[in-house]
């Protein structure tokens, strides 16, 4: 079973309560239950976490290396400031999808830069909560294909290879 860690950055705990014209009406709980439902359908294990602290997000990324196959992250405002989160993602080397509810390129200039995009497998922005569901499907497809490829490109054991040559 593939295991995916989903990380929500600062202030995303406020989803649905304020700034609905930008971030929509769904709460973080609603979003997480939609992710859990899809994970069940795709037979994935998901771990869902939110933090307002950069250090905590870095710790969760580092820890994911041992127990997870991939990461989905909305780093929120840390997208535009955090070299620490970028370095953690690069260090663990897990396929990571960056998600934003809003289209960051349509907004203020300071939101156009992402420190995370350069180390991410992919990036989804502007599709609201649907973006997270697409990220889950996309990461699942990517990890499944990578697993299949690893299986088929496994070297033939020495004894079998030797027999084959006789």
Residue 149, judged by CB atoms within 10 A of its CB (0-12, 13-18, 19+), counts as exposed
Long-range Cβ pairs for the range 145-149 (8 Å, 24+): 146/95, 147/2
Considering only the stretches 41-49, 57-65, 71-79, 149-157, report the one whose residues sit in contact with ligand CA2 under the rule CB under 6 A: 71-79
- Could you say whether residue 111 binds ligand CA2 (CB under 6 A)? yes
Which positions are catalytic? 23, 100
- Could you say whether residue 82 binds ligand CA2 (CB under 6 A)? no
**Residue from 6, 15, 61, 135 in contact with ligand CA2 (CB under 6 A):** 15
**Residue from 34, 38, 42, 77 in contact with ligand CA2 (CB under 6 A):** 77
Contact 116, 91 (CB under 8 A): no
**Residue from 4, 6, 7, 12 in contact with ligand CA2 (CB under 6 A):** 12
H runs (alpha helix) in the chain: 20-23, 28-41, 54-67, 83-92, 130-152, 158-165
Query: Using CB under 6 A as the criterion, which residues of the chain lie in contact with ligand CA2 when the complex forms?
Result: 11-12, 14-15, 18-19, 23, 74, 76-77, 79, 100-102, 104, 111
């Amino acid at each position: 079973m593939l295991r995916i860690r989903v990380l929500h950055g600062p202030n995303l705990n406020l989803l649905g309560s304020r700034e609905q014209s930008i971030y929509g009406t769904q709460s973080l709980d609603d979003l997480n239950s939609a992710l859990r439902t899809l994970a069940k359908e795709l037979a994935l294990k998901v771990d869902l976490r939110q933090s307002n602290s950069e250090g905590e997000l870095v710790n969760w990324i580092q820890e994911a290396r041992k127990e997870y196959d991939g990461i989905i992250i909305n780093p929120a405002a840390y997208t535009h400031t955090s070299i620490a989160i970028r370095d953690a993602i690069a260090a663990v080397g897990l396929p990571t999808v960056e998600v934003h509810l809003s289209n960051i390129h349509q907004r203020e200039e300071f939101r156009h830069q992402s420190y995370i995009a350069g180390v991410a497998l992919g990036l989804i922005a502007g599709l609201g909560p649907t973006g997270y569901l697409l990220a889950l499907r996309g990461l699942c497809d990517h990890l499944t294909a990578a697993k299949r490829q690893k299986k088929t490109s496994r070297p033939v054991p020495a004894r079998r290879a030797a027999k084959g040559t006789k």
